[in-house]
Amino acid sequence: MTLTLEAIWAQFATRLRHFIRARVANDASAEDILQNVFVKIQQRLGTLRGAEKIEAWVHQIARHAIVDHFRAQRPAEELSEDLPQPGENTADEAEKAGLLAAFRRMITELPEPYRQAIQLTELEGLTQQELATRLGISLSGAKSRVQRGRAMLKAMLLECCRFEFDRRGGIMDCEPRKKAACAECGS
């Protein structure tokens, strides 16, 4: 059998029409799906690896086209009215801004070499190699400063607040350790 679209149409069109019609309620939709199947066959004919598998391949394309048809018929869910609008300042964004401000204040309390290392790498986006070059120190010295600065910041944060983490280590919740508002983060 020659693998041309015309030959495939001649061999499979009638059977595919019945196959699709048995699964779709109306004739017009079945005919549209059949046409879509042959468009996909034409587009993918070069990817077929062996003429002996043509029937299974054609039916697989038809099954996928039927599924796509029913997915398109599914009604869309309406969005909730209380979703924040673009540019709207939500409580989460305000909380994040407050935490960032507290984080910046904590950085200023670090001893000078660690404060500078953290400011340049974490806030200004320098790599540790660029930090080493800018400060005139070795790469291992720069890495050490960043690592120690991060450890000091972590200790400050854990002293101030109690954190709840998800399984990936992301922060899910934060609350001050003292009953009064946390001096650093104002929470």
pLDDT digits (tens, 9 = 90+) for 119-135: 999 888 899 999 999 99
pLDDT given for residue 185 in this prediction: 54
Kindly give the pairing relationship between strand 171-176 and strand 161-165: antiparallel
Answer yes or no: is pLDDT of 112 > 90: yes
Mean pLDDT, to the nearest integer, of 99-127?
Answer: 89
> Which domains does the chain show, CATH number per domain?
5-72 (1.10.1740), 102-176 (1.10.10.10)
Q: Reduced to 3 DSSP states, what percent helix, strand and coil does the chain have, rounded to the nearest 5? A: 65, 5, 30
Higher pLDDT among residues 72 and 148, named by residue: 148
Please tell me the distance from the alpha carbon of residue 44 to that of residue 54, in angstroms, as a whole number: 12
Please tell me the distance from the alpha carbon of residue 135 to that of residue 149, in angstroms, as a whole number: 16
DSSP code per residue over 70-86? HHHHSPPPPPPTTSPPT
Residue 45 · residue 54 · CB < 8 Å? no
Distances (CA, A) of 28 to 20, 33, 70, 124, 127: 11, 9, 14, 61, 61
Higher pLDDT among residues 48 and 41, named by residue: 41
Model confidence pTM above 0.85: no
Answer yes or no: is pLDDT of 117 > 80: yes
pLDDT given for residue 140 in this prediction: 96
Answer yes or no: is pLDDT of 110 > 90: yes
Please tell me the distance from the alpha carbon of residue 105 to that of residue 156, in angstroms, as a whole number: 11
DSSP code per residue over 124-155? S---HHHHHHHHT--HHHHHHHHHHHHHHHHH
